């Protein structure tokens, strides 16, 4: 990213580009990892098919 853009969004050093489809977000790596961990912790509290990772886990195992 250009320095001017990094300064505008308060980013120093590296960035993570995370997205899907036509949209993406630019994250500071430590903040991204922290938010991802919170999301995974929330999903881990769900059991069985209520957990969206259930389908992914079962597809990978096969």
> Which sign, positive or negative, has the C-alpha torsion 43, 46, 48, 52?
negative
For the chain, the domains span 3-61
Beta bridge partners of 19: 24
In terms of DSSP H, where are the helices of the chain? 3-9, 29-44, 53-61
* Whether the predicted pLDDT of 62 surpasses 60: no
Q: For residue 23, what pLDDT is reported?
A: 94
Encode pLDDT of 11-55 as tens digits: 888 999 999 899 999 988 888 999 889 888 887 777 666 766 666
């Amino acid at each position: 990213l250009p320095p001017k853009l990094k300064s505008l969004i308060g980013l120093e050093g590296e960035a993570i580009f995370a997205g899907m489809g036509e949209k993406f977000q630019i994250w500071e790596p430590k903040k991204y990892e922290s938010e991802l961990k919170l999301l995974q912790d929330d999903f881990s509290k769900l059991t069985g098919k209520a957990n969206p990772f259930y389908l992914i886990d079962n597809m990978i195992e096969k």
